[in-house]
Amino acid sequence: MDINIGILETLVVALMILFSGYFCNSKVAFLRNNNIPEPVVGGILFSIVAAIAHSFFDIHFNFDMSFKNPLMTVFFTTVGLGASYSLLVKGGPKVILFLAIATLYLLLQNALGVSLAISAGMDPLMGLIGGSVTLSGGHGNGATYADLFISEYNMPSSVFELAMAAATMGLVLGGLVGGPVSKRLISRYNLKADSYHEELDDTVTFNPEDHDLVTPKKMMETLFIILLCMSVGHVIYLQLKSNDVILPAFLMPLLFGVLATNLTELSKRYTISRACIDLWGTMALSIFLALALMSLKVWELANLALPMILIILVQTFMLIMFAYFITFRVMGKNYNAAIIAGGHCGFGLGATPTAVANMESLVARYGPSPQAFLVVPLVGAFFIDITNALVIQLYLSLPFVTP
């Protein structure tokens, strides 16, 4: 039996999922201490309920996800609005460095996946499915390459379902391991948020012109700027798309956010409220993730063969070790590097919003890291897709992968 749920009811369910995550984190010390994002906790619980309804009662929930992509774009626009010129100067080289690290990991991820697949007597292409095709690439990339493998390499049609299940498993694991990795790094090295950002916050707090950090007027002004950046960015996105330049839909709004915050900073005639940006961004991301996770079909994980499950679990262990020992150290072995390591766990197994949720959970507890919120989304949502395609093509050219 299909149950169709309208847009308002879908939002109600998403908020209930989010609140259930907050409740569970407040009651379960393990979840709270390891900074597991609330949307992930609530989303997994709902997915289990949905799986029971599907398996035992043949009930299927069909949600209206109309707000899902706009909410994601709102969040990434706030990321741009939080990136002042001074932060861009500090974070620019880090973007290049992190892209190099993430690309190196793609090579290792596929090497491990192919090696394990061959060892298990599976088609080497299954190692790519259990590698960067689905784990770093996500559901969309998994669907694209699954179709390619079926049409060009004579793989069975079940590869598509297998890819979707692998991407789903990676998404869940990515939201579970990022927080504990960063927490361990922060605790072991006694790391603190950059004092530069604390000084900025103090300046804002004691500005005599600001009697309240957040007011209805400031929230509406900030929303107007967010929507303006989204609207202009969408027009440019459509124009580029019509000229066969395909970019993530949120990238142009993010860049216009960067432009807007720096123009206001240079003009000194208006200051965009940092507090309002953070509030809009946090709310948009939390609801977006709740919507994304409530639509997961965890019963599809049953389609994963045992060797594929083992491949993904070994991949998870390798990413934990890589983020802990390599990402953290190469990115500077400081607080920002620890937050970036948690973000790497998110998009190395799942998707950029999962990476950002990991980081949101961490900074809410340990302090801000604007550099991480600039570096990880740019690499995880845009540049890594380019290098991932090149790395996958490299492996497809190897004779022992596609004889």
Examine the pLDDT at 317 and tell me if it is beyond 90: yes
Residue 311 confidence (pLDDT) above 90: yes
Contact by Cβ (8 Å): 274, 218: no
H/E segment holding residue 60 = strand 60-63
Percent of the chain at pLDDT exceeding 70: 89
Count other Cβ atoms within 10 Å, centred on residue 131. Answer: 32
Counting Cα atoms < 13 Å in the Cβ hemisphere of 26 gives 6
Asked if the model's pLDDT at residue 381 lies above 90, the reply is: no
Distances (CA, A) of 100 to 26, 93, 215, 318, 393: 38, 11, 42, 17, 18
Provide the token pair at 140. Answer: 């969309």
More confident residue, 1 or 320: 320
pLDDT above 80 (res 282): yes
pLDDT at residue 236 greater than cutoff 90: yes
Q: Phi and psi at residue 4, in whole multiples of 5°?
A: -90, 125
**Confidence label for 204 from pLDDT (cuts 50, 70 and 90):** very low
DSSP code at position 322: H
Rounded (5°) CA angle 122-344-169: 40
pTM: predicted TM-score of the whole model, two decimal places:
0.71
Least confident of 178-192, 194-208, 378-392: 194-208
- Tokens for 334, please give them: 């400081």
Q: Name residues whose C-beta falls within 8 Å of residue 278's C-beta, 6 or more positions apart in sequence.
A: 78, 82
What mean pLDDT value characterizes the chain? Answer: 85
For 70, 115, 329, the CA distances from 97, given in Å and listed in that order, are 30, 27, 12
Q: How confident is the model at residue 178 (pLDDT cuts 50, 70, 90)?
A: very high
Question: Tell me, what DSSP letter sits at residue 25?
Answer: H
User: Which of these ranges, 66-70, 194-198, 327-331, 388-392, has the smallest mean pLDDT?
Assistant: 194-198
Q: How far, in Å, CA of 181 to CA of 16, rounded? A: 28
Confidence band, pLDDT 50/70/90 cuts, at residue 77: confident
Report CA-CA distances (Å) from 252 to 51, 140, 233, 237, 339: 37, 20, 5, 6, 25
Nearest of 13, 329, 332, 363 to residue 193 by alpha carbon:
363
